[in-house]
Structure 1
Amino acid sequence: MKQKDKLCVPDLSDLSMSFCSPPVIVRTILLMGQRGGHQESKKLEISPSETMKAEDYKEDRGPKSEDWRPPSVFGVADLKNRAVGLYNIGQTCCLNSLLQVFFMNIHFTKILRRISVPVYGTQKRNNVPYQMLLLLEKMQCGKQKAVSPRELAICLLGHRVEMFVQCDAAQLFLTLWNLLKKQIRNPELVGKLSDLYTISVQEHLACQICSSETTRNSSMLTLPVPLLDSESYMLKTLEECLQCFFHPEELTGHNMCFCEHCGKKTPFQQSVKLVHLPQTLTIHLKRFCFGRSAYIHKINNRLPFPQDLDFSAVLTEQQYQAYDNEKAAWQYELFAVVAHSGSTSCGHYCAYIRSLTECKWYSFNDSIVEQVSWDDVRSTYGHSDLNWGQTAYLLFYMKKHPQ
């Protein structure tokens, strides 16, 4: 009988986030939904996390080829017919699902196997990229059908990441990415990691009286798209959710901002324009929202998502700020789905991932890994009558023709 893990609201206190009021453009992590059907702030700031001191690492300052790798370590995604599970060691289904998504991404494992190795034992135990590399090697070298992520989980505990408790996949994904970026010492690899996952947007805040405008470039790790529109009606497709996310928002009434040019609070229009999409695009479906009584509930309603996604066909000219050659490369293919089953108080995570070497879909449910069909992946679309069934929560798309 599978242990049912509880799902919690993201605890943002350890992520050093700053919440600002208008007229400053807000850059926050999205809570998992809308309050009263309306969108909350749309932006996400990639936040700092703890890092090791430079002297704790043994840097390889000589040139490294792209094919360099530690002995015997190449990566789960490079192997055919060799999918390995991860044991649930106490409410770690969320961590296990995200790790499998990382490890099945050939572009990520190519970065991971080039990291510099810390010198001392203590630093090795506290280094997240290194512990992920060791786990990857353990998955690849052993003959077991599943291995334990215990050492990595203990390493994450040392960085104040709550383990063995209820988790939210979107928050944990951000936390893991921040730790990876901060603890990889090679600037070239940090740049490659950012190119692989980071979304670039341009934020706009315009006064509706004097037309003065504030513009700022920003980065996001995920696109947190709503499932409800501004009138609290269910959106019917992923494309509609994306259009809703990039649709300008009117700030009126209690949401008016102070305009320095007008010298008073005035109505503003807030919008986000897409500038650049990464090789691996992560979309966060905001299935968790606040009801009128401030009680968080889950939206199980059906939301189809396509295998192929062309952003240039989804967005209007007013919703992007990009060159034509950038826009021409906005064609994606679905790579992975992290699905949640259950409710806000009790649930479980698993991952559906398409092997980049075999082009076959696999289900990663903790220690159980098995090949599945596209119809099995489509079962995560959701349904309003679901009590326990799986619904997609994070979607990972891979660029078809990387530049």
Structure 2
Amino acid sequence: MCDGTARRVRLRPRLRGVAEGLPRLRLREFFCRRAVLFMGQRSGRQERSKKPEMSLSENLTAEEEDNKEENKELKTKDQRLPLVFGVADLKNGAVGLYNMGHTCCLNSLLQVFLMNIHFTGILRRITVPPNASLKRRNVPYQMLLLLEKMQSGKQKAVFPTDLARCLSVHRMDLFMQHDAAQLYLTLWNLVKMQIKDQDLVTKLSDLYTICVQEHLACQICSSETKRNSNMLTLPLPVLDSNSHKLKTLEDCLQCFFRPEELTGHNMCFCEYCEKKTPFLQSMKLVHLPQTLTIHLKRFCFERSASVHKLSHCLPFPEELDFNAVLTEQQSQAHDNEKAAWQYELFAVVTHSGSANFGHYCAYIRSLTECKWYCFNDSTVDQVSWDDVKCTYGHSDLYWGQTAYLLIYMKKHPQ
């Protein structure tokens, strides 16, 4: 059975490779920051070193002075936030993010979020936390500060240090390999959980949430149950029920929405028949959001419980019309809803390597310039659609880039 979750393997960060290219004056600060992040025990900056003979009142005074300075600095940043227009490539060209030790997955997903002007439009309207401690723990606020940092200078890349500290407070392990689909869900849930304005929470859900209707029909008495479910991604299989490789993204969609018979050990208990009976399980599409995320389940569990990566070629279109892919029986939506089911590709998060280790990067189409960029940590290059198509995958290119997450944007939103 296929599963979209790759095993996370703890790897020792290669500090020497990460530190290359840093200015010498900042090298000591870099390693100090890494030590704080790795411990995962402090949510803010490092504590000042204090002499043993300092009295308690002197300690409190020093701490108060620190808080005043930090609040003053944060207040200055808050005053600049209205100048953030909401897309990382608007002012000084696309800006990269330095890898701080196995943070390529985080960097790629942050670029996907921050290059989405619909997402940053919501981010700009959040309520600023009232004090320094809450600001350090608030993920949407730290994402907004990172966006401001990316736009305010002329540097080609910046360190997402403060945001990484913030995520470590929320028990997100750093300096280890993450699965992009899992981390995508974690980041989105943290942002949604920490936005206090319910109107903005609704807008965020409407922007990303997919709604499907699950059907279970007893094959003996024909009784049927229906249930609506919301999901952040469409987890599409890349193999069919007979473990044959699917050839296109449209084939994957058809396989996901194709009814499946539950027999043998998979039979369900029927309340009307009062016993386990064969069931027909099907999924029908109800609603698609403005930003649609598709998760290609490239990581597959074998009978030996080991995980391997499916790297075979799977083309995906630059434009996608769900009305042309799904049948009438595979959707449960009104005509007005279906009229807006035309999409164009916005971003591709790719993975290189095996199921146990590898590297992530993101190909993103700028919504302001309509140009494709490859975000590979601190390196950002303009690319063509032909370059993006090289991420389709290839069975013989074991270490080649393979598309893992596809993010589509509605062409004509309602």
TM-score interval, smaller chain: 0.7 to 0.9
Aligned residue pairs, count: 341
Q: Return the offset for 1:9.
A: 2.1
- Structure 1: state its 5+ residue gaps: 1-6, 12-67
Matched, 1:70 2:81: yes
1:233-382 matches, within 5 Å, as 233-382=244-393
3-state SS of 1:162 partner: coil
Show the counterpart of 1:88.
Answer: 99
Across the aligned residues of Structure 1 and Structure 2, the Cα RMSD in angstroms comes to 1.5
Show the counterpart of 2:141.
Answer: 130
3-state SS of 2:100 partner: coil
Matched, 1:167 2:165: no
Q: Percent of pairs identical after alignment? A: 77
**Aligned partners of 2:92, 2:166: CA distance in 1, in Å?**
30
Structure 1 segments of 4+ aligned residues over 6 angstroms from their partners:
none
3-state SS of 1:379 partner: helix
8 Å CA contact 1:198, 1:277 repeated in 2: yes
8 Å CA contact 1:201, 1:273 repeated in 2: yes
Matched, 1:392 2:403: yes
Show the counterpart of 1:188.
Answer: 199
**Aligned partners of 2:164, 2:402: CA distance in 1, in Å?**
26
Q: Return the offset for 1:383.
A: 0.4
**Aligned partners of 1:193, 1:328: CA distance in 2, in Å?**
22
8 Å CA contact 2:150, 2:157 repeated in 1: yes
Deviations 1:233-266 (A, max 9, x none): 0000000000100111111000001111001100
Q: Return the offset for 1:154.
A: 1.1
Q: Return the offset for 1:8.
A: 4.5
Q: Return the offset for 1:314.
A: 0.3
Q: Return the offset for 1:75.
A: 2.4
* Closer, same or farther: CA 78–93 of 1 in aligned 2, 3 Å: closer
8 Å CA contact 1:80, 1:357 repeated in 2: no
**Aligned partners of 2:231, 2:91: CA distance in 1, in Å?**
33
Matched, 1:103 2:114: yes
3-state SS of 2:83 partner: coil
**Aligned partners of 1:350, 1:306: CA distance in 2, in Å?**
19
Show the counterpart of 1:149.
Answer: 160
**Aligned partners of 1:200, 1:162: CA distance in 2, in Å?**
30
Point out the structure with the larger helix share.
Answer: 2
TM-score (norm 2): 0.80
Deviations 1:6-54 (A, max 9, x none): x94269xxxxxxxxxxxxxxxxxxxxxxxxxxxxxxxxxxxxxxxxxxx
3-state SS of 1:306 partner: coil
* Closer, same or farther: CA 359–147 of 1 in aligned 2, 3 Å: same
* Closer, same or farther: CA 8–240 of 1 in aligned 2, 3 Å: closer
* Closer, same or farther: CA 81–333 of 1 in aligned 2, 3 Å: farther
TM-score (norm 1): 0.83
**Aligned partners of 2:255, 2:84: CA distance in 1, in Å?**
43
Deviations 1:344-393 (A, max 9, x none): 12200000000111111000000000100111100000001112110000
8 Å CA contact 1:77, 1:356 repeated in 2: no
**Aligned partners of 2:199, 2:253: CA distance in 1, in Å?**
32
3-state SS of 2:329 partner: helix
Deviations 1:72-119 (A, max 9, x none): 222235605510000000100000000000111110110001100111
Larger radius of gyration: 2
8 Å CA contact 1:77, 1:357 repeated in 2: no
Instruction: Give the letter for the 1:198 counterpart.
Output: T
1:9 pairs, out of 3, 7, 10, with 7
**Aligned partners of 1:180, 1:241: CA distance in 2, in Å?**
30
Show the counterpart of 1:177.
Answer: 188
